[in-house]
Amino acid sequence: MTSIFSGTPADCTSLGISKALFPSVPDLVISGINMGSNCGYHIVYSGTVAGAREAFFNGLPSVSLSYDWAGGRSNVDDFTLAAEACIPIIIAILSEIKRKTYPQNCFLNIDVPTDVRNHKGYRLTTQSKSIVKMGWRQVGLDVQGAKMLSTMTMESNSFSHNESDALSTPNNQLLFNREVIALQVEDGGTDYCSLQEGYITVTPLGALSNAEVDSQAYFKEWLPAVVERLSSAAL
């Protein structure tokens, strides 16, 4: 039986583990391999990571995999090498699952460096605050080009990508290029820096994204003041 399903990675995971298509649920869900790294703040809106997170929400062990594709340096064979480099981790996870010793309060996000053939091994990392800031620049209108580039066609969501996206309005009157305008990197033994150093990064992730302590302290004072003003205005 061949099944065709159109949806986000999280949708695909949800359907796959629902028993609507298959009579049983998997021991391990693997989302990816994504074309481009998923580090730092990129994790928040990564569809690949969301696929693994959906399994985690449903109590299943899961892993998201990404390869740090670099235009002009990478080729399709690198995806095979990236998968092979992750096999020892996958086997180890399955072994822990079989022994029922694998933790259930997190899932793993794994990023493989561009030069996968010469990677430096595995490194346990934490999610950084690194982020690529994107901007949009209007370019000259080419009607035929606008029709061809009417949706975003980003080759990679890697921090190091040099490609640009194109977006036009439905009536094809405007055409924009999406470009990197800033790269904000957090130093230390975090996911992004370790990936750039050539390590395969292994980052445990949870479901919650709590605000910083100082923000919590601010809103602890702010919210009662708002409530008090509302109460006063109602009198």
Provide the residue ranges of all domains of the chain, joining segments of one domain with +: 9-129+186-234, 131-184
What's this model's pTM, rounded to 2 decimal places?
A: 0.80
Place of tokens 């004072």: 221
Question: Would the CA dihedral through 40, 45, 48, 52 be positive or negative?
Answer: positive
**Rg over CA atoms, the chain:** 21
Homologous superfamily assigned to 9-129+186-234 = Survival protein SurE-like phosphatase/nucleotidase (3.40.1210.10)
Query: Strand pairing of 200-205 and 122-124?
Result: parallel
For the chain, strand residue ranges (E) read 29-35, 62-67, 107-112, 122-124, 131-138, 165-168, 175-184, 200-205
List the one residue out of 38, 45, 176, 173 whose CA is nearest residue 165.
Answer: 176
Q: What is the pLDDT of residue 161?
A: 46
**∠ at Cα 173 (167, 177), nearest 5°?**
30
Q: What is the pLDDT of residue 141?
A: 62
Contact criterion met (CB below 8 Å) for 192 and 186: yes
- Encode 113-142: b = buried (16+ Cβ within 10 Å), e = exposed: bbebeebeebbebebbebbbeeeeeeeeee
Nearest-angstrom CA–CA distance, 34 and 19:
25
Indicate the Cα dihedral angle 10, 16, 19, 23, nearest 10°: -160
Q: What is the pLDDT of residue 203?
A: 96
Which tokens hold the place of 161? Answer: 């990508």
Q: Each residue's pLDDT tens digit in the chain (235 positions)?
A: 566 778 899 999 999 999 998 999 999 999 999 999 999 999 998 999 999 999 999 999 999 999 999 999 999 999 999 999 999 999 999 999 999 999 999 999 999 999 999 999 999 999 999 988 889 988 876 544 443 333 333 333 445 444 445 555 555 568 888 888 888 888 778 999 999 999 999 999 998 877 888 888 999 999 999 999 898 887 6
Q: What is the pLDDT of residue 169?
A: 54
Nearest-angstrom CA–CA distance, 230 and 235:
9
Q: What is the pLDDT of residue 152?
A: 31
Nearest-angstrom CA–CA distance, 54 and 205:
12
